[in-house]
Chains A and B, each alone.
Chain A
């Protein structure tokens, strides 16, 4: 059986995303994920970004291109890699929708938080394969800041 790829995140990043997702409920939240990719992918910093989707934000998120451009710049200036984005699914499972898949870009980890009745119920991570299909990544959470 094929082994699931892994992504490591710090407890701080996990807590940060949960807080953001629950504060934003019942709208979708979104943010950037930074860290390093050497032998393994390690996410050490999360950053909130505004959901700029026009109209109803309960089922959709959109990141302004200029915010994205600044995130790439932030990564370069801080010797980090921009490794992905996170977003929440209020009252929906932590699984990517077809809409998520169509909009997705290669390489990034897409972390999804399912928030049920205002509380985080599950966190999953996904990455596109060469056939533009999502494959789940196993999330390993580190209790320490030092990676």
Chain B
């Protein structure tokens, strides 16, 4: 089963769990499996068209992937999928 690492800011929607094991065989299916288990997480991970939000980055192992084009990337029991929120800001509007 692949393991999804939940970033700290989103753990309030996963009952404080920091990871989730999934038996799905692609990256996107794994993420869909995650939000089925934790429905409150869905709006923070997916947009209205069910695509991964633009400010969320997805890593498979050490490599960032584009879920829109590479979401069908296969995963196995050793795969670590990381959800990474973009962190940015600045002093003026």
Contact = CB atoms under 8 A, between A and B. Distances in A.
Tell me, yes or no, whether A binds B: yes
B68 interface: no
A103 interface: yes
Interface string B26-65: 0000000000000000001000000000010101001010
B92 A72 contact: no
B57 to A, nearest CB: 4
B92 A99 contact: yes
A72 B8 contact: yes
Interface of B: 5, 7-12, 18, 44, 55, 57, 59, 62, 64, 82, 84-93
Given A65-B64, A66-B64, A68-B84, A104 B89 contact: yes
A133 interface: no
Contacts, number: 89
22 contacts: A53-B88, A53-B90, A59-B91, A60-B89, A61-B89, A63-B86, A63-B87, A65-B84, A69-B59, A69-B82, A72-B8, A82-B8, A83-B8, A85-B87, A97-B91, A99-B89, A99-B90, A99-B92, A99-B93, A106-B10, A107-B9, A108-B8
Contacts of A96: 89
Interface residues of A, number: 35
A92 B8 contact: no
Contacts of A90: 91
A62 B91 contact: no
Nearest to A91: B91
If over half of A's interface residues share one DSSP class (helix, strand or loop), that class is named, otherwise mixed; here it is mixed
Pick from A53, A59, A72, A104 the residue with the most CB of B within 10 Å.
A72
Given A76-B18, A92-B92, A103-B86, A65 B9 contact: no
Contacts of A61: 88-90
Nearest to A85: B87
The list of the 7 closest CB pairs from A to B, nearest first, reads A60-B90, A89-B91, A92-B91, A100-B89, A105-B9, A98-B93, A63-B87
A139 interface: no
B12 A103 contact: no
Contacts of B84: 65-66, 68-69, 72
